[in-house]
Structure 1
Amino acid sequence: MLFSPPVYKKYRKELGQYCNIGTSGKNFVVAGETQMLSFFSEEHLLLNIFFIMFPLVFYQLVFHEKVEHRIILKNVIACAIFAVPSILCMMHPIIKQPGMIFDFRIIPLILSSFYGNNAIFLLVSSALIVSRFWMGGHGAYINLISSILTIALVFFFSKKYGRLNLKGKITICVLTSYTGKFFGILFNLYFDPAYNLMLPIAFYAMQSIFMGFTVYIMETILKNSKLRKELIDSEKMKVASIISASVAHEIRNPLTAVRGFIQLLAAANVSADKKQMYSKVCLDELDRAQQIITDYLCLARPHPDVIEHLSLKEEIIYVSSVLVSYANLKGVELQVQLEENAYVTGDRQKFRQSIINLVKNGIEAMDFGGKLVVSLEKQSEDISLIITDSGKGMTLEQINRLGTPYFSTKDKGTGLGTMVAFSIIKSMMGKIKVESQLGKGTVYKITFPAVAQTKAI
């Protein structure tokens, strides 16, 4: 298409107003017989990249999981994140020539098909074509032709795209973007036979490079999203396994005590008073097992603890009566050294559960028998409960890992008993200090804030 000098001056005036001739960052290319003026904007290049990348990344990080199962809303958002960048890219062209503009609009169009669906792709295509005709110029007809070619290529590759690896997907998108636009620009020779194709060829090469980069980013985001979902599912399974193992571990303690006392009840030389005491302990331990099950079943519906004033002397006597048969079975001598007027506040059942866990661990640490001492020390404002065993002991690294899931010094231990015990003690405002030496045993010093005896029930 040949321009007379007045027409050329008109386009030069329009382009000069658009690009602010004389400012830095703008370049002009003279090409063709008519010295057609072309405008290249580095600023608009960055804007095109921003218009395309920001919605894609923002959607994946913010909206993807929230709208995953809301199909209508998901499709509406997908149309917006592909159609709006296409229109914005046309409004801020990277290269502008009389009647034509060059930008990255084709990239969201291709992505809308390969990462959306046919309905989204057709809507985005329609929006792109209508908007380009609204902007005017003979480039609108070239855009129509290149869009039709791109649509045909996209429909040809769409069924194969999902089965391709990353390299194949990048190749398909690059070829589609370059081929559709290149054959489209050839039709400009109809309007201007002297049109120089070197600039479009170079631009579409740059566009194809960014197309490949965008596909790489998209695939990386989707892969990370999939890995994150798999990680969440894995964490859910891990939590389920922790809970199940913890339930089994916690219930085993009272059942062990019940089993021991039932064996004692079966003995012929047990007095009536002892039978009554043993029966009461069995019932109490079965109630504790039931309470443990109830607590774990109610994890989704947390309920407040039953806060009481506890006599540490009475609680330690109870714990020692529960575990004395188990200690005898392991060849361990269980001793208690108690203080009068030692009171703390907390949930009675949970406190017993935590101390039983720690004392039982101490007994199991002595493979060849030994002595385990449970004692109380009363200071002015605190009370310390000290559990001392003569077992195999622990290293400093093992001490630092105490209370974490799946860490245990026992061959078949889960570490959950200690974790639950530490959690209960901390909920009672208690502090735990552990000292240990390999081959010499371990000392647990648990310190609680003391309360007045007059408040005890």
Structure 2
Amino acid sequence: MGFNYELSNFLLNIFFILFPLIFYQFTIHEKMNHRTAFKNVVIFFLFATPMILCMYFPPVEANGLIFDLRIIPLILGCFYGNSKTSIMLLLSLISVRFMIGGTGAYLNLISSTLSFIVIISLSNKYHSYSLFNKILISSILSFVCKIIGISSILVIDSYYDFLSAFKFYIVQSLFMGLAIYIIESIRRNAELKKELIFSEKMNIASIISASVAHEIRNPLTSVRGFIQLLTQTELNPDKKQMYGKICLEEIDRAEQIINDYLSLAKPYPEILEELDIGEEIQYIYNVLKSVANLTGVEVEIKYDINLLVLGDRKKLRQSIINIAKNGLEAMRDKRGVLKIEAYKRNNEVILSISDTGIGMTNDQVSRLGMPYYSNKDKGTGLGMMVSFSLIKGMLGKINVKSELGKGTVFDISFPLLKI
């Protein structure tokens, strides 16, 4: 029997096998591991589909015999599935081959069953091998399985073109190795991603732990020192009052740090309510007015009416006051102007906070809101980080423009609440 195969169908078989491997990465997701039955079904269809398509579009078909690359999906399904999916794949292969018909259906029953026994015997230890050994073993295995099939054909056709088939199945073995390499690369990348995420979580946990310990220790150390002075020495009333005031201020600072961490842990609105940005700006102006008077900074506000947004009132005020106070501190050494404006633009409410302070470089602007980054000598970076987090939790967007020596502008946009 001749062995002249169609190149187009051969390439089509390659496509059938490689295309489903794109979706293999979803089968190794953590959520999929908790849904075993669903995962088995997905893996079955992932390898059964190319296996069946290969049989319906064979590169060689003659005298009731078909030659294709069906063995590759079968081996992959047995190695990367479990016993249930392996048996389902074998039964599907035999059933579909009988549906196609021809004398080869009975030969396929014998050769596929023998090949399946060989594949299963190797599958138990397969995952303990190195990548090179996996590729080597799978390539040799695909070739051996086809040799079993060729041997069964020689029984009924002594004139079978063994040499051409031999070359065909060597090429098949090369693609078997390629398929294994692709799957192993996907699995390795998934493992590296998981390790990276775990490493990042541990890194963040260590940074937060160190930061909490450092930030809380500073005010507590001050409080402890002044309490010792108050209890161990005789002081005049003025000094007692001064030391007591410092203790209260340091305790308030520690409380503020704790509140910042708590806000960071829950950035999303707890209570959603209709907020009028104009009313909120007026409230923030009243809060900042006393601080601005002490620093000699002028605060100006301007806002349109009916600027309604949906959010958490306390968290909105906290975030805007944090940003505004940073603007006031940026103008500490010179008498500047802090402007807070609000207006409507398309379907958004724009809240603009600008100052005429020292400004920032592009690098400093890009790092705003990052963990533990601050432009202030004694700053923790938590205030700005919390503000950014709270605003984003209310579906807000922040755009920062700054120029050294001229000042900074924060443009915050919120979705407009339509009445």
Q: What TM-score results when the alignment is normalised by the length of structure 2?
A: 0.71
Q: Is the 8 A contact 1:264 1:270 kept in 2?
A: no
Offset at residue 205 of structure 1 (A): 1.1
Q: CA deviation at 1:101?
A: 0.6
**Residue aligned with 2:139, SS:** helix
For residues 93-112 of structure 1, what are the alpha-carbon distances to aligned partners after superposition, in whole Å with 9 as ceiling and x for unaligned? 11112121100111111111
Match of 2:153 in 1: 188
1:317 paired with 2:282, answer no
In structure 1, the residue matched to 2:98 is 133
Structure 1 residues 228, 49: CA separation in 2 closer, same or farther (over 3 Å shift)? same
Alignment of 1:29-428 (within 5 A): 36=1, 38=3, 40-61=5-26, 64-237=29-202, 240=205, 268-269=237-238, 288=256, 291-299=259-267, 302-304=270-272, 308=280, 309-310=282-283, 312=285, 314-315=287-288, 317-318=290-291, 336-339=295-298, 347-354=316-323, 372-373=333-334, 375-376=336-337, 384-387=354-357, 397-398=363-364, 400-405=366-371, 407=373, 415-420=381-386
The Cα of 1:319 is off from its aligned counterpart by: 8.2
Moved more, 262-271 or 305-314: 262-271
**What is the match of residue 30 of structure 1?**
none
Q: Which residue of 1 aligns with 2:347?
A: none
Please state how far the C-alpha of 1:176 moved relative to its aligned partner.
Answer: 0.6
Q: Do the aligned partners of 2:327 and 2:354 also contact (CA within 8 Å) in 1?
A: no
Contact 1:350–1:424 (CA under 8 A) maintained in structure 2: yes
Give the CA deviation at 1:71: 0.5
Separation of aligned partners in 1, 2:341 and 2:78: 75
Measured after TM superposition, the shift of residue 157 of structure 1 is: 2.1
Distance in structure 2 (CA, Å) of the matches to 1:111 and 1:383: 60
CA contact (8 A) 1:387 1:444 kept: yes
Distance 1:250 1:154 in 2: 61
Offset, 1:125: 1.5
* Percent of aligned pairs sharing the same letter: 41
Q: Is the 8 A contact 1:342 1:378 kept in 2?
A: yes
Q: CA deviation at 1:115?
A: 0.8
User: 2: CA distance between counterparts of 1:355 and 1:264?
Assistant: 37
Larger radius of gyration: 1
Q: 1:304 to 1:386 in 2, by over 3 A?
A: farther
Give the drift of 1:312. 4.0
Distance apart, 1:76 and its partner CA: 1.7
CA contact 1:407–1:414 (8 Å) conserved in 2? yes
Give the 3-state SS of the residue equivalent to 1:55 in structure 2. helix
1:25: which partner in 2?
none
> Secondary structure of the residue that 2:180 maps to in structure 1?
helix
In structure 1, distance between residues paired with 2:326 and 2:141: 67
Q: Secondary structure at the match of 2:283?
A: strand
Distance 1:395 1:84, change over 3 A: closer
Alignment-mate amino acid for residue 103 of structure 2: H
CA 1:336/1:53 → structure 2, altered by over 3 Å: closer, same or farther?
same
AA partner of residue 237 (structure 2): A
Separation of aligned partners in 1, 2:27 and 2:341: 55
For 1:260 and 1:376, locate their aligned partners in 2 and report how far apart those are by CA, in whole Å: 39
How far residue 221 of structure 1 moved from its aligned partner, in angstroms, is 1.5
Cα displacement string for residues 328-387 of structure 1 (whole angstroms, at most 9, x for unaligned residues): xxxxxxx61133765789844444444556778x79xxxxxxx74564356999874444
CA distance in 1, matches of 2:408, 2:224: 30
Answer 1 or 2: which has greater helix percent.
2
Amino acid of the structure 1 residue aligned with 2:53: L
- Shift of residue 136 of structure 1? 2.8
Output the CA distance in 2 between the equivalents of 1:209 and 1:282: 71
RMSD (Å), alpha carbons:
4.7
**2:402/2:408 contact within 8 Å kept:** yes
Q: Which stretch of the first structure deviates more once superposed, 106-115 or 276-285?
A: 276-285
Structure 2 unaligned blocks of 5 or more? 308-312, 343-351, 413-419
8 Å Cα contact 1:53/1:214 also seen in 2: yes
Question: How far is 1:213 from its partner?
Answer: 1.1
Deviations 1:51-94 (A, max 9, x none): 22222322424884542210011112222222232222111111
Question: Which is further off, 141-150 or 158-167?
Answer: 141-150
Q: State the Cα distance separating 1:231 from its structure 2 match.
A: 3.3
* Aligned-partner Cα distance in 2 for 1:374–1:424: 30
Q: Distance between the aligned counterparts of 1:236 and 1:79, measured in 2?
A: 35
Aligned amino acid, residue 269 of structure 1: D
**Contact 1:245/1:414 (<8 A) preserved:** no
The alignment covers a number of residue pairs equal to 382
